[in-house]
Chains A and B, each alone.
Chain A
Amino acid sequence: MKTYVTQGFEPIDTLKKPGSDTPWTLKEKLLLGLSSGEYVKQLVRNPFNWILAIIYAVGIPIILGRFYYGLGWVTHSSYDYPWGLFLGWGLFCMVPLSASGFMLGTTVELFGRKDFKPIERLGLLNGLLGYFFAVMFLQADLGQPWRLIYPMFVSLGPAAVLFLVAWHVATYLTVQVAELVPAASEMMGWKAPKKFVKSIVLGLTVAGIILSTLHQGALGALFTYAPGKVHPLWYSYSFQWFHFFCSSIFAGLSMLIVVSTLSKWFLKWRCDADFLGSLDRITLGLSKGASLALITYLIIKLTAVAHDNEWGLLFTGWGQWYIFELSFGVILPLILYTVAIRNQSVAVARFAALIAVLGILLNRLNTALITFNWNLYQEIPHWREIVITVTIYATYILVYRAVLYRLPILYTWKGESK
């Protein structure tokens, strides 16, 4: 793509062909204005696609095998570790990293911070795709995925935390689709849907906050069902939901910084001047938000240790691991963000974001897998489980990229977009 752009090619960003009144056809829009041959050529030229191809060559047969031979073929069929990587990574890690949707919606629409507008759509998209693929991971993990709607319509267990997660993720997905309708409408030249969404955007945003608070928290609360299994340092029956909720705030913001940085590096041709020009300022703004959430999180984490009087546990092996998680995943990014804000250094902020994202991954994997059953034994996921996880994640990246190529997320649609 870069090559074409340096050759003077301009990807489509208007409804009508320049200088004339003929609208672009859908096919032309989907191919960004390239011919099919040119499009395939750029696909082949991009080394990243080769990596994807290899992942699919291995991963797709194994995914088919999972549905043909059953879960027992791809996992260790553990009764003691009923949840493996699919949920440990796909649900518990993806969802907090996708909190950017509601964060940015709140900032721009609710608090009226129009200065974050250029990145709002990326935040929303990051949220939508993250949730959507969390559901895909869930589908890979459920014993009977075709019964996914049972908790909604067939047999209701409303007193269970997972019931709330199911309903909220489903509703919230709808909200996020609605929030991104304007982007699609612009590209397709529809007017009514965009107008409609604009009229209810405040409602959508408030719904987003409620749903996010509750289901981000609920993911934490799921572990309160296992008081003896999660290590006490990672377990806090009073604060668990708040830990998960609060960390999702900086997780979402940091992920957004990471994604926007990647977009800037790899999809520069698709970003418009507005996005590129404001990105540094926005990154520092997001950093401020993230560092506030980080410090709150650090305080409540320590409060939980004090509340349950677990200081002694810090001196055990698990305690050292806990200290590592907190220093690497919370304190380090907090310091880096502070340095970045003080010195107005965007590069440091980006690095801090990366560390914060890794820190969240570590925390969620620790809670769900590594310290789970700490007094039994540790389990390493089956290689097929890892392959499937990588494949689904690769699809997430692929879809993400495909959408960024086309919808006006990183750029503004020109012309009658009012």
Chain B
Amino acid sequence: MKRLNRRSFLKGGLASGVTAAAVTGSVGKADAAGDFGGYPDSMGVLVDLTKCIGCRTCEAACNKEQNLPAPDKPFTDMSVHDEVRHGGLPRRTSEKAYTVVNKYEVEGREHPLFRKVQCNHCQEPGCLTSCFVNAYTKTPEGAVIYDPKVCVGCRTCMIACPFYIPAYSYSSPINPVVKKCIMCYDTRLKFGRPPACVEACPQQVMTFGKRKDLIDLAHKTIKSRPSLYLDHVYGEKEVGGTSWMYLTSQDAPFGEIGFDTHLGKQPIINYVKEFLAIVPMVLTIWPALFTGFHLLATRKEAKKNDESVS
């Protein structure tokens, strides 16, 4: 639990930015403290992409579990795999679909590979750390959930999510909210049950379990068939680690099946620290500095006044 300190420090630091309370001396601690790194016993899902056949059963299960509106095309319609939207991109999560399965034809491979997309439930989520009303929570079970009752709709969380996951119900004039996968927290995860998509998959593509066990399992799986699997567990380290992790085959590296392989290992919040660290500095140094300037700049005048008085 010691690791939680940094986050509470940041809160303290910025809050004082508002109340202008002095926080002298705390500069630099932001960097010194370690990373949050997530809850030790949080759950996760390991997705073995080599097994997925693109049947969309998981999409249907998600739709039902989350009471989402009926899709434009039925879940049995496989033509969606060939859909292209703006920018030549395949489908993405939307206000009507928290998860989508996309098809990738990789050169040199006989069969296409399918990739399931949903919120990765990051250990240190960009969405969570960027929200100015604290609408997001990382639960000890590992899910990143969202409270629509406090959301103002600034959509910074959508900017900050490195995986382009959160969608927004723009169509609603009265109550637009962020729409994203919550790992079936309310209905399943809370009670220790796996998410609906995991349970529905006919191919056992996804394994639900403790994140740390899944990491072991992933590496064991790779070792068991080194000629099949690429030796990389996507999500183990990416942006500070995610609860959902992926395995792919050697002839379809992550970069070619729609994964961003340039994200780096730092959680998103680390990129913002540089600024957060200057906040207390400006607050404490500026007043003294500029009042000093003022006295210097107006000294002559003051002298003149003094002389004229005496």
Q: What is the interface of chain A, defined by CB distance below 8 A to chain B?
A: 67-72, 75, 77, 79-80, 82-83, 106, 109-113, 141-145, 147-148, 150-151, 154-168, 171, 202, 205-206, 209-210, 213-214, 217-218, 220-229, 237-238, 240-241, 376-377, 379
If A111-B297, A156-B134 touch, does A163 touch B14 (CB 8 Å cutoff)?
yes
6 A-B residue pairs with Cβ-Cβ distance under 8 Å, sorted by A, are A79-B164, A143-B152, A161-B275, A209-B286, A226-B160, A241-B275
- CB-based closest 5 A-B pairs: A143-B153, A377-B87, A70-B173, A82-B155, A72-B170
Are the CB atoms of A206 and B152 closer together than 8 Å?
A: no
Judging by beta carbons under 8 Å apart, are B274 and A151 in contact? Answer: no
Kindly list chain B residues whose C-beta atoms are within 8 Å of the C-beta of A69: 173
A71 to B170, alpha carbons, bound, how many Å? 5
Q: Which of B159-186 contact A (CB under 8 A)?
A: 159-160, 162, 164, 166-168, 170-177
* Residue B94 CB within 8 A of the other chain: yes
B7 at the interface (CB under 8 A from A): yes
CB distance from B94 to the nearest CB of A (A): 7
Report chain B residues within 8 Å CB of A109. Answer: 294
Asked if B33 is at the interface of the complex by the 8 Å CB criterion, the answer is no
B134 near A238 (CB under 8 angstroms)?
no
Is B68 interfacial (CB 8 A cutoff)?
Answer: no
Q: Which residues of A contact B282 (CB under 8 A)?
A: 210, 213-214
When distances are taken between beta carbons in the complex, the residues of chain A under 8 Å from B191 are none
Who on chain B is nearest to A215 by CB? B17
Shortest C-beta distance, B154 to chain A (Å), equals: 6
User: Bound complex: CA of A387 vs CA of B171, how far in Å?
Assistant: 19
Asked if B274 and A75 make an inter-chain contact with CB atoms under 8 angstroms apart, the answer reads no
Cα–Cα distance between A232 and B147 once the two chains are bound (Å): 33
Q: A218-B275, A225-B156, A225-B271 are in contact. Are A162 and B132 (CB under 8 A)?
A: yes
CA distance A253 to B43 in the complex (A): 54
Instruction: Report yes or no: B168 in contact with A241, Cβ–Cβ below 8 A.
Output: no
CA distance A83 to B154 in the complex (A): 8
| B154 proximity list for chain A (CB < 8 A) | 141-143, 162
Question: A166 contacts which of B132, B175, B264 (Cβ < 8 Å)?
Answer: B132
The answer on a CB contact under 8 Å between B286 and A150 is no
- With known contacts A154-B133, A155-B135, A161-B275, A227–B86 Cβ distance under 8 A: no
Q: A206-B291, A210-B287, A228-B262 are in contact. List 16 more A-B contacts (CB 8 A).
A: A67-B173, A77-B170, A144-B175, A154-B133, A157-B134, A158-B11, A159-B129, A160-B129, A209-B286, A217-B275, A225-B272, A226-B159, A226-B162, A228-B263, A237-B271, A377-B87
Instruction: Write out the residue numbers on chain A whose beta carbons fall within 8 Å of the beta carbon of B279.
Output: 164, 214
Q: Within the assembled complex, what's the spacing in Å between the Cα atoms of A147 and B147? A: 14
Report B275 CB to chain A, min CB distance, Å. Answer: 4
Task: Given A68-B173, A148-B152, A217-B278, decide whether A225 and B17 contact each other with a Cβ distance below 8 A.
Answer: no
Q: Report A-chain residues with C-beta under 8 Å of the C-beta of B286.
A: 206, 209-210, 213
Interface size bracket, B side: 35 or more
B290 proximity list for chain A (CB < 8 A): 106, 110, 205-206, 209
User: CA of A325 to CA of B222 in the docked complex: distance in angstroms?
Assistant: 48
Q: Is the CB of B153 within 8 A of A160?
A: no
Would B159 and A225 count as touching, CB distance under 8 A?
yes
Contact: B297 with A160, CB < 8 Å? no
Closest chain B CB from A150 CB (angstroms): 5
Complex interface bits, B12-29 against A, C-beta within 8 A gives 1, otherwise 0: 001101101000000000
Distance, CA A162 to CA B263, complexed state (A): 23
- Give Cα distance in the complex from A319 to B151, angstroms: 38
With a CB–CB cut-off of 8 A, which chain A residues contact B274?
Answer: 224, 237-238, 240-241
Q: Which residue of A lies closest to B287 (CB)?
A: A206
Q: B86 to A379, Cβ gap below 8 A?
A: yes
Q: Which residues of B contact A227 (CB under 8 A)?
A: 162, 263-264, 268, 271
- Does B4 make an interface contact (CB < 8 A)? no
> Does B108 sit within 8 A of A, measured CB to CB?
no
> Is the beta-carbon distance between B268 and A144 smaller than 8 angstroms?
no
Q: Report chain B residues within 8 Å CB of A106.
A: 290
**Is B54's CB within 8 Å of the partner chain A?**
no
Q: How far is the CB of B268 from chain A (nearest CB, A)?
A: 6
For A202, what are the chain B residues with a Cβ–Cβ distance below 8 Å?
A: 291, 294
CB distance from B238 to the nearest CB of A (A): 11
Between A154, A166, A205, A214, the greatest number of chain B beta carbons within 10 A of the residue's beta carbon is seen for A214
Min Cβ gap B35→A in Å is 14
Q: Which of B262-288 contact A (CB under 8 A)?
A: 262-264, 268, 271-272, 274-276, 278-279, 282-283, 286-287
What mask results when residues 55 to 84 of chain B are scored 1 for a CB within 8 Å of chain A, else 0?
Answer: 000000000000000000000000000000
**Could you tell me which residues of chain B, from 102 to 136, have a CB within 8 Å of some CB in chain A?**
126, 129-135
B10 interfacial contact with A, CB 8 Å: yes
**Least Cβ–Cβ distance between B124 and chain A, in angstroms:** 11
Q: Is the CB of A162 within 8 A of B135?
A: no
For B228, list chain A residues within 8 Å (CB): none
Is B173 a contact of A241 with CB atoms below 8 Å?
Answer: no
B260 interface contact, C-beta 8 A: yes
Measured CB to CB, the closest approach of chain B to A15, in angstroms, equals 30
Q: Which of B215-273 contact A (CB under 8 A)?
A: 260, 262-264, 268, 271-272
Q: Which residues of B contact A222 (CB under 8 A)?
A: 156, 159
Is the Cβ of A159 less than 8 Å from the Cβ of B7? Answer: yes
Q: Point out the residue from B147, B153, B167, B301 that lies within 8 Å of A142, measured CB to CB.
A: B153
Chain A residues whose CB sits within 8 angstroms of the CB of B171 once the complex forms: 70, 72, 77
Q: Which residues of B contact A145 (CB under 8 A)?
A: 153
Q: Could you tell me if B283 and A150 are in contact, using CB atoms closer than 8 angstroms? A: no
